[in-house]
Structure 1
């Protein structure tokens, strides 16, 4: 299979536990308020995390190639998911069940440590996003996004970027025109 790159070499021992899927854009992998049965590794494509806020679709995270994504509170905590996972582009993903994921954690200290580090990095990222929303205006948030994640600007539709930044598409167009 060979889906895992060098930084995930330990994972190759467990590739047989993952199920490969090719999915079109706008495929829902998990709905908000459902229990997650799977986690996903992205071989190719882009996924977003979003939720419904009084009928308004809010995007709050993007994931690309060689990243894992799941609703951790649901997948590992057996709670209802707080968000939806949806593909933005046609994608190739590899899914794993909770049982198989637990098997990997029990049989590889290296992977268990990687998962802990990944979880910590995700927590730090969410703190930065939260503080940026409070401290910075939309123009500054857009500039930070261009600096830290230019891939999002190149690959994600403008309305999702606007939602991610907490602004309207019209406001984003104005900011882009001033750049």
Structure 2
């Protein structure tokens, strides 16, 4: 949704604070499922501390889709909006502190936000930014080798490599753990090429 853009749009903070009493603050261990694949998303999730991943099951094999960290928020958007089963699960990777805002209050808050000046412009900017990000991810997955994608992670999002277990990174890159180890060894030897 919109709240992991609070740093770029400080006017959101008033609404976040107003709806804080309707949120449930949870301290959860690693490997806590926050949303099961196939269930309807009922909450917007905001991460105060920790790391979360989204993934789906493909014939018994988990495929990691995305990682989220502090001050980011997520939901299974299509499920949340249209009350349909989620295509992916949401799980903590680290011990995490999260806030859950139920759908009824998220909807109410959006209705209030719509009265704000420049709200539509802000929403368009947010959606354009997210769309660009996901488009770039898709293009990279099609165009780049797993090695190039790993190098991109090291360059653009090193915190993922530093904090996320290797088997999740391998799943995210679409390779086995063994293949990822080979990629890392090749890079360490300085023989990587584009």
| Structures share fold, TM-score greater than 0.5 | yes
1:93-143 deviations in whole A, cap 9, x for unaligned?
000111000111111245955555433322221111111111011111001
CA distance in 2, matches of 1:59, 1:156: 11
- Give the counterpart of 1:152 among 155, 160, 172: 160
Cross-structure match for 1:104: 109
Instruction: Verify: 1:78 aligned to 2:86, yes or no.
Output: no
1:50-107 deviations in whole A, cap 9, x for unaligned?
0001111000100000001100011111111000000000000000111000111111
Greater shift in the superposed pair: 104-113 or 169-178: 104-113
Q: 1:105 touches 1:112 (CA, 8 Å); kept in 2? A: no
CA distance in 2, matches of 1:101, 1:41: 12
CA distance in 1, matches of 2:97, 2:123: 21
CA distance in 1, matches of 2:123, 2:39: 23
Q: Give secondary structure in 2 for the equivalent of 1:29.
A: strand
Cross-structure match for 2:37: 32
Q: Calculate the TM-score normalised by the size of structure 1.
A: 0.91
What stretches of structure 1 of length at least 5 have no aligned partner? none
1:7-33 deviations in whole A, cap 9, x for unaligned?
452322222221100010000011111
What stretches of structure 2 of length at least 5 have no aligned partner? 188-194
Q: Calculate the TM-score normalised by the size of structure 2.
A: 0.84
Instruction: Give the number of equivalent residue pairs.
Output: 177
The root-mean-square deviation of aligned C-alpha atoms, in Å, is 2.0
Give the structure with higher Rg (CA). Answer: 2
CA distance in 1, matches of 2:60, 2:140: 24
Instruction: Verify: 1:51 aligned to 2:59, yes or no.
Output: no
Runs of at least 4 residues off by over 6 Å: none
Cross-structure match for 2:134: 126
